[in-house]
Structure 1
Amino acid sequence: MHPVGMIIVTLALLLLVEVQIESAESHQKSPNILLIVADDLGYGDVGCFGNDTVHTPNIDKLAEEGVKFTHNIAAASVCTPSRAALLTGRHPIRYGMMPGNFIRVNVFSSSMNGLPPDEFTLGEMAKEQGYSTALIGKWHLGINCLTYEDNCHHPLKQGFDYYYGLPLTNLRDFATGTEKHYVIRGLSEYTELILVSIAIGGVFFALYLLKMEWIGPVVFLFLALLFSMPSMVFFFLFRNFHLINGIVMRNFDVVEQPVDLEGFTARLVNEGKNFLLQRHRDGRPFLLIMSWLQVHTAMHAGPPFKGRSKHGSYGDEIEEMDWSVGEMLKLLDEMEFTDNTFVYFTSDNGGHVEEIGFHGNREGGWNGIFRGGKGQGAMDGGIRVPTIARYPGVVKPGSGDRLPDKQYFLPGFERDVKTYPSYSVPLILVCCVILGEDVYKVHFASPRWHPGTEGCGFICGCHGSIITWHDPPLLFNIQKDPSERHLLDVNEPKHQEIIQEIYHRVNKFKSSVEDHPSEFCIWKLLPMPWLQACCNGTFPYCHCRDPVYTSLH
């Protein structure tokens, strides 16, 4: 199948809810839409995409009943910009959601950045057509802009009638027991800096106590704050990451803080079930996005999945997520929604190949034959994601690898894939062009892997000196060489023509991108105290449990 990116699929979904589907005999009901989004799931992590050691019977069955996308490209290799593209059908760079620095995702729940309120989302489109909409699970696209409870980035301000889940993301700090406070342990390289700055502040304090004439109270306070407070604040933020960011929201209300991950997947399934029951009663068409926390760390699979997989806790997470997918599909069957529901399963980006657990065990995904992983925007391992679509009566089962160029899985969708950029990661890094049966991919830059690996420590960057620039660029035919192991000779006349065509397309795209304020500037990324949620109003002693699930605690 020719490349079809997440953005193109979103455009198809927008059309699906905008137009009424007509058959030769009758006017059909508006189709329901169920989007299932995994977090950091690698291309090779599920059975139907080549894994024969992790059991994913429900996802595999979905593939048997629908179409399997073998070349579906995420809009970015990390969560926040990728999810923005999935919701809007637009390149993240067009509205300030494609960062140009090291930090490429929302880091704090109390920061000001997020999906711009003026972006038109799939949820808003669906609501205009009379759909009932809900997003359950991970959001990671911001909450507030300027004041607490302005909720400018919140799902309910972006087209959804109901929201339940983590507004940020799942982090290892949210784990229980010995794995708590993983971030501050991971920042051990800064320990000396913190201790030195605190020590300098202590020296000034000692000088003040010794009544040194040249240091008065004002100078003392200034110097002590200058050297001590930033490090103390830094230490406090990361030492309490679980408290600051581990919040659960139901609509606009914070109902749990910090989050208890035990049984959380079952909670999300229950929330999805309740939404579907309401639609079964009122008969309204629905758009439901189930956005799992898995398989992003922290690992939190519970009985009966814990310890079941051959691949440790990461495999357990995949198998529990597969169970949750099966539960949602079972609910569609029980409520007789299946025949009129478009189901779309995908991951926000590729598997995180560098993810290592607290005890040195590997807790990241497998991207099959594709090189690289999460965070590596130029490598298919970071952006080619396992994707499945099912729509009974419309999608012919098993048709995924042989769809003609202009045959699509959604009626009324007739865009020519060849006219749309198939790679929507930053085009300064990579671009792709389809010529006949071949798919050529150019690398303008690539990650600087650690010697002997295809990773970069914790995660690879996508800018500046932490990537390697290529002049001339690297050229691969990924239709014949999907693993990108065989570099083509760019001096051959045919290949020079291909590179010139790609340069033309890149320049054309760049000229179409208007300047937009970045959502990833430092002032928007920093935590703002006045935007910090505290469910009981006694920060830093915030603590509450979701009353709907009190029996679980």
Structure 2
Amino acid sequence: MRSTLGAPLLLLLLLAAGSDGTGAEMDRKPNFVLMMVDDLGIGDVGCYGNDTIRTPNIDRLASEGVKLTQHIAAAPLCTPSRAAFMTGRYALRSGMASAGRAQVLLFLGGSGGLPASEGTFAKRLQQQGYTTGLVGKWHLGVNCERRGDHCHHPNQHGFSYFYGLPFTLFNDCMPGEGSDVMADLQVTLRHMAIILGVGLFTLVCVRASGLLEVSLWLLVSLFLISILATAVWYVPFKLLPTWNCIIMRNQDVIEQPMTVETLPQRLLGEAQNFVRRNSDRPFLLFFSLAHVHSPLFETPAFAGKSRHGCYGDNLEEMDWIIGKLTETVDSLGLANNTLMYFTSDHGGHLEDANSRIGQSGGWNGIYKGGKAMGGWEGGIRVPGIFRWPGRLAAGTVVDEPTSLMDLYPTLKYLAKDTLPDRLLDGHNLMPLLEGSVKRSEHEFMFHYCGVYLNAVRWHPPGI
């Protein structure tokens, strides 16, 4: 009698345990892997029409998920576009748009940056129990009033872990590439210092020879002015690799200046390790690649392999990096519970080239304009690819206006964040991605360059 009752009881206990485990698995919040490339043109990618550059891994993401054909950056430059992406709001709202000549952060030692009061999707998900990480480029500021206050640092904006460039990758970071920070101002300051120096030397010679009576006070004044002019040119500009080109792990500087040659491999390794460390809990990884911003990498394994010189080599290396991170997610059995997203912060840099390697910027397909070119489509239309096996139908194409700002409300929705928020300019993309609606919620999309409105896209209801 005891054995007859024991078997059904044991079976019921096992079924109950199995049922609880399945429920827990189903209730687990999804992971997010957001991959953003720097200065990539929409025409650079195979699945968006390029048939001369090999991007099989990005193309695979599109074939296994959803491709957006009208995905729009909120600005044609790094800092304002990334601020809008992180906050779900136009950069104008957070003060991250400029009316001046420099519309991106140019000096890591400056006090500008994303305000501490501004919300980010990382901060919202952190409050929902997510482990959050940023690997790669930030470019939204570090300090406010003094060195080390880190008020704009990624750790203060919701990222539990940060490894990478708190600034960006500039030509100044690589020896022999020259400088691309206010180059004309540098030339003016250098010429001014040289002219003052030559003038001072001439007057000293004239006084020493007795040809003319030259006041000692004039010589002293010219000497001090020459020293000041040289300092104004040399300190901020010639020392840019020391000021700007650094690598941080959380709030510690671990390289100053950075070693550019090994940067791609290290960023990939950090991204893979973050996924592995957090595979048993909900996580958000923002993988913000240094590719394909100039200066271009010259990785031996990819050098000379493409049909488009160094720029093409960099694109194919970037695609390989995307493939390795995707492989890591899949090998850990996380694919069906992970939303992967691929995009660029804005369009390709059409005017970037040099005599040594030729083309250094991207191709924006049929669209006119590029990086820093206001409301022209080439500067703001970017790739937008989502993959989530089992949730998003493979091979779907959405031909509706969408924005980088849509990621913020989409992640909030998927993380079940229902807490009150500020006014957002983005919209939850899941109904579009899953096919439950056919129209984007964007009626108007405003295209800014700095604080100036350059164009407006109207998507009238019912049309």
Compute the TM-score of the two structures, normalised by the length of structure 1: 0.68
- Distance of 1:97 and 1:359 partners within structure 2: 35
Provide the residue aligned with 2:85 in structure 1.
86
Residue 177 of structure 2 aligns with an amino acid whose one-letter code is E
**Percentage of pairs with the same residue:** 39
1:390 positional shift: 1.3
RMSD over aligned Cα atoms = 3.1
Residue 431 of structure 1 aligns with an amino acid whose one-letter code is V
Provide the residue aligned with 2:262 in structure 1.
263
- Distance of 1:344 and 1:193 partners within structure 2: 49
Greater strand content: 2
- Count matched residues: 411
Give the secondary structure class of the aligned counterpart of 2:313.
helix
- Distance of 2:327 and 2:134 partners within structure 1: 19
TM alignment of 1:305-344, pairs within 5 A: 305-344=302-341
1:420 positional shift: 4.9
- Distance of 1:242 and 1:58 partners within structure 2: 33
Contact 2:341 2:384 in 1 (8 A): yes
Moved over 4 A (4+): 24-27, 180-189, 200-215, 219-223, 402-407, 409-416
- Aligned mate of 2:445, from 422, 427, 432: 422
Contact 2:75 2:448 in 1 (8 A): yes
Provide the residue aligned with 1:168 in structure 2.
167
Residue 165 of structure 1 aligns with an amino acid whose one-letter code is G
Give the secondary structure class of the aligned counterpart of 2:83.
helix
Residue 358 of structure 2 aligns with an amino acid whose one-letter code is N
- Distance of 1:375 and 1:428 partners within structure 2: 13
Provide the residue aligned with 1:295 in structure 2.
292
2:177 pairs with 1:179: yes
Contact 2:143 2:153 in 1 (8 A): yes
- Distance of 1:78 and 1:437 partners within structure 2: 33
- Distance of 1:35 and 1:352 partners within structure 2: 22
- Distance of 2:235 and 2:185 partners within structure 1: 13
1:253–1:404 distance in 2 versus 1, CA, 3 Å: closer
Contact 1:80 1:141 in 2 (8 A): yes
2:345 pairs with 1:348: yes
1:432 positional shift: 1.3
Provide the residue aligned with 1:408 in structure 2.
431
Contact 2:66 2:433 in 1 (8 A): no
State the Cα deviation string for residues 372-425 of structure 1 (Å, max 9, x = none).
100012101001111111122222222223579997256899997445532342
Give the secondary structure class of the aligned counterpart of 1:59.
helix
1:108 positional shift: 1.1
Contact 1:202 1:224 in 2 (8 A): no
Provide the residue aligned with 2:96 in structure 1.
97
Q: Relative CO higher for 1 or 2, CA cutoff 8 Å, sep ≥ 6? A: 2
Q: Which residues of structure 1 form unaligned runs of 5+? A: 1-23, 439-553
- Distance of 2:148 and 2:437 partners within structure 1: 41
1:92–1:213 distance in 2 versus 1, CA, 3 Å: same
Give the secondary structure class of the aligned counterpart of 1:81.
helix
- Distance of 1:407 and 1:244 partners within structure 2: 42
1:429 positional shift: 1.3
- Distance of 2:392 and 2:289 partners within structure 1: 25
1:172 positional shift: 1.5
1:348–1:419 distance in 2 versus 1, CA, 3 Å: closer
TM alignment of 1:449-528, pairs within 5 A: none
Provide the residue aligned with 1:284 in structure 2.
281
1:117–1:75 distance in 2 versus 1, CA, 3 Å: same
Provide the residue aligned with 2:374 in structure 1.
377
1:184 positional shift: 8.8
1:192 positional shift: 3.4
1:423–1:213 distance in 2 versus 1, CA, 3 Å: closer
Residue 70 of structure 1 aligns with an amino acid whose one-letter code is T
Provide the residue aligned with 1:67 in structure 2.
66
Contact 1:197 1:231 in 2 (8 A): no
Contact 2:310 2:357 in 1 (8 A): no
- Distance of 2:154 and 2:455 partners within structure 1: 32
2:459 pairs with 1:434: yes
Indicate the larger mover: 355-364 or 315-324.
Answer: 355-364
1:92–1:205 distance in 2 versus 1, CA, 3 Å: farther
Q: Which residues of structure 2 form unaligned runs of 5+? A: 1-22, 403-428
- Distance of 1:319 and 1:374 partners within structure 2: 21
- Distance of 2:354 and 2:227 partners within structure 1: 32
- Distance of 2:313 and 2:258 partners within structure 1: 20
1:254 positional shift: 0.6
1:357 positional shift: 2.2
